Structure 1
Amino acid sequence: MRSSTPASAISSVPAVPEPAAPARRPRFGLWRRFRRNRAALFGLAVTTAFVIVGVFAPLLAPYGQLDMAASFQPPGREHVFGTDSLGTDVFSNVIYGTRVSLLVGLFSVLTSTAIGITIGAAAGFFSGRVDTLLMRLTEMFQVLPQFFLAIVIVAIFGASVWSIILIIGVLNWPATARLLRAEFLALREREFVEAARALGMSNFDLIVREILPNALPPIIVNATLQVSGAILLEASLSFLGLGDPNAMSWGIMLHNAQDFFNRAWWMAAFPGFALFLTTLGVNLMGDGLNDALNPKTQSR
């Protein structure tokens, strides 16, 4: 007698679930999207090269002493970039100027970003009167003529590398604050924030652990782009004679060269080109970061 399995028994056997398919990785990661942009790669290479030069300036600079007998020598085999009015090697000065200019650009932007994040996060998270008060403060700083105000402050309190860093940082935070406020206003009502709030997470933890990490990408791009502006502002102040005379920067070199444009063109040409190339590289890198971090460009 042939046995048969009842249909009811077959239907009662639980179906074995199929293994879940692994989550698909994004088609292009951040680095893959970034390296597709050749201009951004060029900017990254230029910026990295200048950072290396600044870090290892004492090892790379071939000359350091004054030699009045060698003043105004044109570019040649012994002095690749020529010498200035005091006989110092322009190539060595450009190398040391890289360190000062990048130091001002980096730390002034870190200062302005820290201030902007604090004010923008508070305004966007708490809204209401706090938002109104902080945004009026931000608007007041935005309408101030920053360059002329920087000139006045430096002229009153004196010029040093760290005072210039502080002045640029204090005057340059409003853009970061407004950008972060907009990000917080968009993120504070999202589901993950509401879930964390329902679990009893404090406001500080909500800001620092939940919202801020998701709002950082545009802040990183903005900070990168602000570095070039800070370098240019320091160079402008130094060119006007308001820089730190004890620190060799590209702006100081341009200031020292302004009386010798016709006699020694190289005194201004090489630091000016270094300034141009650095700001170009930083801006191209910032634009590349913006494209890589912007979700709208991922499908391109």
Structure 2
Amino acid sequence: MIGENLRHWGREFWAEYRQDRAGLVGVGLLVLFLFLLAFEPFIVPFPEGSKRWHDITYWADNPPSAAPAWTNWFRAKKSAVAAVIREAETSTEESDGVRLVRRSFVYEYAYDVPPLDVVARFTATGDVPTALTVSRPDGVELELFSEQFTAGDKEPVRISVDRTSQNAVYAFLKKYESEETAGLIDIKQLDPTSVIFAEAGAGMDADPKPLHGRYVFTLSTMLLGEDRAADDPQLVISGRVSGLLGTDNSKRDLWTGIVAGVKWALLIGLLTAFVSVSVGVIAGIASAYFRGWIEVVIQRVFEIIVNLPLLPVLIILAAVFKLNIWYFMGIMCIYFWTGPVKTVYSMALQIKEETYIEASRAIGAGSGRIIFRHMVPLLVPYSFASMALYVPGAIVYEATVSLLGLGDARIVTWGQILHDALVGGAVLSGLWWWIVPPGLLIALVGMTFAFVGFAMDKILHPKLRTR
């Protein structure tokens, strides 16, 4: 019977709700956020990004302050896009127990601005002599790196062309420059990738012209015994543009950070709103039902909290005690529970005088049964509407405190990303992709729950339909 009533009520509610266009927009946005939350590991390029957001080594291969890849559509000169090449053609030569393993990575270069760096990665075990060469489209082959690594068991090895190949690139450059010009070139200031991806000829350092075509980077490793190994090779192209939302000045992928922030935004908003409204509804009902000293205590506490400003209190406590996110949510609950109290109190006073409440008392029903069986169910619909309207406030308060650098640094929130952008000079540097997405998402989440809350309010409170 109860299930049937609930289904009937649900159908009626949805029939009215879907007539509110803003409410439908809110539901659509909520579904989108839930999709991002559920499929986070599959839609971000760095699945461990939320856990290792502050681990600089995890982001080492990304370009710093790179614009989103799609900005190439609006540029006359196309910049190299960041990419990871894992497929390699492997060949092995063996002689007297020594294996020479060559892995060749093919990179099709079709851009006007070369990548910032090219990085070869693999895991090494033992002593592994290693060389990295590149074969250009014009037939020129350059040895970029040659060295022996001494590693432990499957120790990560990273070879950066930008840091290790200046001498090799300078030797290549000298073949096409006069002695006077070559003598003026500072090897330490030389940009290897701009030369590697440029047409061979005089002036390719000062005014490089892009050499489009097929580049083959070959990673050669010599294994001097069965206990030596070089596994999991990959070639990372550190492009000038990267990913869906670019990177920050610490090389962190911003799309990964934005998606990671969804779960914290929803958790902070929904949990704070649920606890606050639940406490507020119970407090309002108890105040109206018991009256006397209970009403006096609840109303005095209500008046004290209402007259204390939340944001300054949050800022002071966060600055002094370095609060984590759970303390933040607890403090917001202490303030937010006062929101529904007065409305619930007035509604509960009317419900208390109903005939069926008097009848329940007459047959010996206890206060707890009357409150939770007869009064709370009538106020639950109002609670849902109030809850939806409290979510944006909780998210904005957390973002504000985080923007000031006082948030919980152990988690990734949109407020933390905005704080990093402020500290990193994103505004002065024109890094709009670091500022706009987190700010826009905060506004969108607020708009989502505002639309849902207002739509529910109109349905559950018919007097509001004329507003």
Normalising by structure 1, we get a TM-score of 0.86
Quick one: percent identity of the two aligned structures? 27
Which residues in structure 2 correspond to 1:115-194 (within 5 Å)?
A: 115-194=279-358
For residues 65-99 of structure 1, give each alpha carbon's deviation from its aligned partner in whole angstroms, at most 9, with x where no partner exists.
41365110011144111111111111111000111
Q: Which amino acid aligns with 1:253?
A: I
Instruction: Pick closer, same or farther for the CA change 1:129–1:69 going to 2, 3 Å.
Output: closer
> Are the structure 2 counterparts of residues 104 and 277 from structure 1 closer, same or farther at C-alpha, using a change threshold of 3 Å?
same
Amino acid at match of 1:74: A
How far has the Cα of 1:153 moved from its partner?
2.0
How far off is 1:52 after superposition? Answer: 2.6
Q: Which amino acid aligns with 1:210?
A: H
Contact 1:55 1:99 in 2 (8 A): no
Q: 1:55 to 1:165 in 2, by over 3 A?
A: farther
2:113 maps to what in 1? Answer: none
Gap runs ≥5 in structure 2: 1-7, 50-57, 71-241
Q: Report Cα offsets for 1:31-62 as digits up to 9, x if no partner.
A: 11110001110011102211231233233222
Instruction: Note the alpha carbon deviations across 1:107-130, whole angstroms, 9 max, x for none.
Output: 111221232123212101112332
**C-alpha contact 1:40 1:287 (8 A) present in aligned 2:** yes
| Greater relative contact order, per chain length (Cα 8 Å cut-off, separation 6+) | 1
User: What amino acid is aligned across from residue 158 of structure 1 in structure 2?
Assistant: K
Q: Which one of 366, 375, 388 corresponds to residue 211 of structure 1?
A: 375
Inter-partner Cα distance in structure 2 for 1:48 and 1:108: 20
- CA apart distance, 1:297: 6.4
Equivalent position to 1:278, from 420, 428, 445: 445
Partner of 1:260: 426
CA distance in 2 between counterparts of 1:134 and 1:144 reads 16
The residue identity in structure 2 corresponding to 1:198 is A
Q: 1:70 aligns with which of 45, 63, 67?
A: 63
CA distance in 2, matches of 1:101, 1:297: 29
Letter in structure 2 aligned against 1:271: P
2:455 is matched by which residue type in structure 1?
G
In structure 2, relative to structure 1, the CA distance for the partners of 1:76 and 1:120 (3 Å cut) is same
Matched, 1:249 2:405: no
Q: Residue 458 of structure 2: which of 285, 291, 299 is its match? A: 291
More strand by share: 2
* Alignment match, 1:18: none
Pairwise CA distance, 1:254? 0.5
Deviations 1:195-252 (A, max 9, x none): 2112211011000000111112212111110001101111111101111111000000
- 1:54-69 pair list within 5 angstroms: 54-63=37-46, 64=49, 65-67=58-60, 69=62
Give the drift of 1:106.
Answer: 1.3
Choose from 213, 229, 235 the match for 2:399.
235
Structure showing greater Rg = 2
Distance 1:104 1:115 in 2: 17
Give, in whole Å, the separation in 2 of the partners of 1:51 and 1:148: 32
- Report the alpha carbon displacement of residue 298 of structure 1 after superposing the two structures with TM: 8.0
Equivalent positions of 1:2-21 (< 5 A) are none
Q: Which moved more, 1:56-65 or 1:42-51?
A: 56-65
**Aligned residue in 2 for 1:103:** 267
Q: What whole-Å deviation, never above 9, does each CA across 1:160-213 have from its counterpart, x for those lacking one?
A: 121111111112111122222122112111122112112211011000000111
Among 84, 93, 112, the residue aligned to 2:276? 112
1-structure distance, mates of 2:401, 2:465: 40
Cα RMSD between the aligned structures? 2.0
Provide TM-score, normalisation by structure 2. Answer: 0.56
CA distance in 1, matches of 2:42, 2:319: 34
Are positions 1:30 and 2:3 aligned together? no
Distance in structure 2 (CA, Å) of the matches to 1:295 and 1:275: 30
Mapped contact 2:357–2:370 kept (Cα < 8 A):
yes
Q: Give, in whole Å, the separation in 2 of the partners of 1:154 and 1:182.
A: 36
1:298–1:200: structure 2 CA closer, same or farther, 3 Å change rule?
farther
Instruction: Give the helix-richer structure, 1 or 2.
Output: 1
Unaligned 5+ residue runs, structure 1? 1-24
Aligned to 1:49: 32
CA contact (8 A) 1:116 1:176 kept: yes
